[in-house]
Structure 1
Amino acid sequence: MALAPHPLALPRNLVASLQPFPLSTLSPIYPPPSSACSIATAKRSNAAMGSSSSVIARASSSSSTNPSTDGFDESAVGALADVQILASSTGQPVFLKDLWDQKEGIAVVALLRHFGCICCWELASELKELIPRFESAGVKLIAIGVGTPDNARILAEGLPFPLDYLYADPDRKAYNVLGLYYGFGRTFFNPASAKVFSRFSSIRKAGKNYTLSATPQDRSSVLQQGGMLVFKGKELLYARKDEGTGDHAPLEDVLNICCKVPAAQPT
């Protein structure tokens, strides 16, 4: 008699998305980004590889300095504004700086992994649930993934996810400017990636209509990790690099930052 599947068992296509691609498909392997362009916070000489890398600045009228810039490469964040990504709905290029008010607007910039990663689908699903809260607080959500607009539309249709909030970065320009983590070890062997095993339920739910066809044709891009940033105008309020696959920023932290900062009032 056949046994019923375990309620947390993942379909084979989801399991496949968490497995390494053959080394022959990952050439060329690009070196990890320079630490000079990282969005890491104050350096910890004894920090373990799996420790989270984040900065949080809480709005304060009594301080003229922003603690998020301590040990932070501001030039990398400034360069992000001039990066062009592709709107998933149209395929047309758009500058990141044109996606929110650069004076007072609040934006959550979520850099997902590649569109064929089930952890990318999971994070996108969680972000979608938060859109009403973002909108009520006057916050603009900008979700960016690695791949083409066609790859992005596969994810958007499968979840579903609103295309107006979704952008594609096939050449990983934003990721490279920010120095987000990249590499085989980070992708498959970082201790932080073990978090996915505690989230089988949410991964399974997000992967109901999952398909590997959302994976970019450039297989080297599957080694790219993501990150999360919150801006008010040009000021960086929060930034975090994913240490490994599935090591997402705590969304409660993101909400606590962006939804407590007064948004610009419409004129």
Structure 2
Amino acid sequence: MATLPSQNLQSGRPLCFPSLNSPKVSSLKFPIFSPRKLKPLELFTRSDGFSNSRLVGRASASASEFKADMPEILGDVSIFTAAGQPVLLKDLWDQNQGIAVVALLRHFGCPCCWELASELKEAKARFEAAGVKLIAIGVGTPNKARMLAERLPFPMDCLYADPERKAYDMLGLNYGFGPTFFNPASTKVFSRFESLRKAVKNYTVEATPDETSGVLQQGGMFVFKGKQLLYARKDEGTGDHAPLHEVFDICCKVPAS
């Protein structure tokens, strides 16, 4: 099987705040270690005995390196629509031949995620014209998702909330205090200052999760065809998002059924 483009993995996951002087932000307490309710799924296998979460160097992955039952495990994950209705992740796209781009944002109060959501909104029509369903998931409750949807704005029909970070845990996405603040990958956002400025025009810090441990979560990007995983990328740090042109190219290369 051909090697699929999967971004390098690191443990870093910096935070992104609108202002460290904000009353809401300054009152947050960030535990270095937060209890996890679910064990992260080990998506990548390694023969050298090192855990993915401890990797410092760079690594690539092919489709054969993913656990074969990963889509089935994800099928048990329940999240919420932006309107507040529970839904199984597997029910969001055709599990036989449907192609879906699943974009996991950090949390609804992250300005960098407003930037990514803005890019996803602009690309939505292009993906749909290619027969691809776009799914955006963020950390927080449905009412936080609606804040982003109303203020950005962003279409609610493809926006979902994962307040307990179930999908993030199962996908083993990066999480933590130290790497969240200090990962070098976060510097990429400075090259996109203008797009970030436009995206946060109507931003509100109130979209930040009430459960403060959620702000330490990083996101990622995945492409599925039915139950087959075609592309995976874990964000190394805040603002380190998958290039959408790369994701779109993967979708266009999917063989016709």
> What TM-score bracket applies, with the shorter chain setting the length?
0.7 to 0.9
Deviations 1:8-50 (A, max 9, x none): xxxxx834499x95596224832689997244576898x9747
Matches within 5 A, 1:1-267: 14-16=18-20, 21=25, 25-27=29-31, 29-30=33-34, 37-40=41-44, 49=56, 51=58, 55=61, 67-70=62-65, 72-88=66-82, 90-262=83-255
Contact conserved, 1:138 with 1:263, CA < 8 A, in 2? no
Whichever of the two has the greater Rg, that structure is 1
Contact conserved, 1:104 with 1:263, CA < 8 A, in 2? no
CA–CA separation in structure 2 for the residues paired with 1:36 and 1:237: 20
Provide closer, same or farther for how the CA distance between residues 145 and 43 of structure 1 changes in structure 2, counting only shifts above 3 A.
farther
Provide closer, same or farther for how the CA distance between residues 34 and 240 of structure 1 changes in structure 2, counting only shifts above 3 A.
farther
Contact conserved, 1:109 with 1:229, CA < 8 A, in 2? yes
Provide closer, same or farther for how the CA distance between residues 50 and 216 of structure 1 changes in structure 2, counting only shifts above 3 A.
farther
SS at match of 1:142: strand
Amino acid of the structure 1 residue aligned with 2:179: R
Contact conserved, 2:180 with 2:237, CA < 8 A, in 1? yes
Amino acid of the structure 2 residue aligned with 1:160: P
Aligned position for 1:4: none
Pairwise CA distance, 1:199: 1.1
SS at match of 2:153: coil
Amino acid of the structure 1 residue aligned with 2:151: G
Pairwise CA distance, 1:243: 0.7
Aligned residues: 236
Contact conserved, 2:176 with 2:217, CA < 8 A, in 1? yes
Provide closer, same or farther for how the CA distance between residues 105 and 152 of structure 1 changes in structure 2, counting only shifts above 3 A.
same
Pairwise CA distance, 1:81: 1.6
Provide closer, same or farther for how the CA distance between residues 36 and 156 of structure 1 changes in structure 2, counting only shifts above 3 A.
closer
TM-score (norm 1): 0.79
Amino acid of the structure 2 residue aligned with 1:162: P
Pairwise CA distance, 1:76: 3.8
Gaps of 5+ in 2: 1-16
SS at match of 1:111: strand
CA–CA separation in structure 1 for the residues paired with 2:57 and 2:38: 18
Gaps of 5+ in 1: 1-12, 56-66
SS at match of 2:232: strand
Contact conserved, 1:49 with 1:191, CA < 8 A, in 2? no
Deviations 1:68-88 (A, max 9, x none): 122x23344431122011000
Amino acid of the structure 2 residue aligned with 1:237: L
Contact conserved, 2:102 with 2:221, CA < 8 A, in 1? yes
SS at match of 1:37: coil
Provide closer, same or farther for how the CA distance between residues 188 and 97 of structure 1 changes in structure 2, counting only shifts above 3 A.
same
